[in-house]
Structure formats: structure tokens, C-alpha cells
Amino acid sequence: MKITSADFVRGAEDRKDYPTGNLPEIAFAGRSNVGKSSMINTMLGRKNLVRTSKSPGLTRKINFFLINRVIMFVDLPGYGYASVPMEVRRSWAPMVNTYLNERSQLSGVVVIVDSRREPTPLDEELIRFLQFRSIPFVVAMSKADKLGQAERATMKRAMLEKWGSTISMEFFSAVSGFGKKPMWKRLFEFERDWRARSDTEIKNIEKQTEPR
């Protein structure tokens, strides 16, 4: 997709602050410092739309970005960073849970995992939650430039063994741009399937409200 516009819309802590309207949303989630902001910037071909940080754990809001006026990217706060104050850690789960549980515009989630390590318990918890709720997701194995081809193959095999062959995953590097094209393909599938589901819903409502 040629990115013609990418604008920060707003940051929200509470559902009442989510943007209105009915555009499909793609959420990005992952441990602090995993490369989430870098990935969003690379996907959009922007250097600094989303601030990358040397002091992780400071993004405490759900940040919404409007892309080409047709789709929203949603930057969820990073989780699991030890030095984040306790009260922030306690607010993380309800904030993100509310969004993932209630947001009907959510079309899919990109779960970003460091490709050099096994997913952390929090990564696993998120993946199991998305599976349980049947929310479409793709696992992005970040910082793939730090792995050779053989190491990527080993990591992929371990992931498929653990999660089953149906899990959707892509290696990604914000540094080299590796994996950008296949990742966009997944995002388009999320968007397309979401639009198909909401069209069906609208047709069903129309059918129910048709005069007899």
C-alpha cells in the first residue's frame, strides 16, 4: 500500500476516549523494547511517526493512528518491563483487556515477539487469549536482522512445534525492512475479513428490520 497519510489521532486510557467512527483497526502488541514502535514506523515508511524509545515502558496510552484515512493502526502499551512503576503495571492489563475485549473495529492483532528468544510467559498469555477469543492475529518475529537464515529456520520450527502449524507468523526487521511485504499482506487480510464480517452484520440487521 502506498502510504499517502499517517496521522496521530489520539491517545486513550479509557474506552470513552477511543476515536469514534467505524474504520477497521490493526493493533500492535508486545513486550516493551521488542521493536513495536520501530515496526509501525517501518510498515508506514515513516521515520518517527511513533516515537521509539531508549527508556521503554513509558507509552502508557493506547495510541491511534489514521492511515490513508481508511484504516487505523493502534499502538498498545508495551508490557512486562520490570522497572515500570507498579501502579502503571496494574493499569496495563485492564486498559489493554478492555480494548481487546470490546473493540468491534478490531480486525487483527500483530503480536511482536523478539525473534532471538522464545516468547515470554506474557507473550504466550496474549497469544492464548487471542486464540480463545478467535481474534485474528499474526506473530511478528522482530529484529530478524540479528539472525541468520539457519537460526530463523530453527526458531520457526520451535514456534510451529509449540503452537501448531496453523499459527500465522512472519519474521520482520525494522532495520532492513525484511518481511514488510508479507506483513502487509496479512494486514490486508485482517482488513478484508473484517469488512466482510461487518457487511454480513449490516445485511442481517437490514433483513431483521425489513417491513413484512
Ligand X SMILES: Nc1nc2c(ncn2[C@@H]2O[C@H](COP(=O)(O)OP(=O)(O)O)[C@@H](O)[C@H]2O)c(=O)[nH]1
Question: By the criterion CB under 6 A, which residues form the site for ligand X?
Answer: 30, 32-38, 52-53, 56, 78, 142-143, 145-146, 173-175
Q: Taking the complex as a whole, how short is the minimal distance between the CB of residue 34 and ligand X, in angstroms?
A: 4
Strand duo 169-171 + 106-114: pairing = unpaired
Q: Taking the complex as a whole, how short is the minimal distance between the CB of residue 140 and ligand X, in angstroms?
A: 10
Q: What does the DSSP assignment read for 46-111?
A: -SSSS---SS-S---SEEEEEETTTEEEEEPPPB--TTS-HHHHHHHHHHHHHHHHH-TTEEEEEE
Q: Taking the complex as a whole, how short is the minimal distance between the CB of residue 199 and ligand X, in angstroms?
A: 34
One of 6, 12, 27, 37 touching Mg ion (CB under 5 A)? 37
| Pick 12 or 194: Cβ nearer ligand X | 12
Q: Taking the complex as a whole, how short is the minimal distance between the CB of residue 51 and Mg ion, in angstroms?
A: 7
What's the Cα-to-Cα distance from 38 to each of 100, 159, 202, rounded to whole Å? Answer: 22, 23, 37
Instruction: From the list Mg ion, ligand X, none, pick the one residue 145 interacts with, judged by a Cβ distance below 5 to 8 Å according to partner type.
Output: ligand X
Other CB atoms closer than 10 Å to residue 159's CB: what's the count? 18
Other CB atoms closer than 10 Å to residue 210's CB: what's the count? 7
Instruction: From the list Mg ion, ligand X, none, pick the one residue 173 interacts with, judged by a Cβ distance below 5 to 8 Å according to partner type.
Output: ligand X
What nine digits make up the cell of 155?
A: 526458531
User: Which residue in the shown chain puts its C-beta closest to Mg ion?
Assistant: 37
Q: How far apart are CA 189 and CA 152, in angstroms?
A: 24
Q: Does 38 bind Mg ion (CB under 5 A)?
A: no
| Pick 100 or 194: Cβ nearer ligand X | 100
Q: Which residues bind Mg ion (CB under 5 A)?
A: 36-37
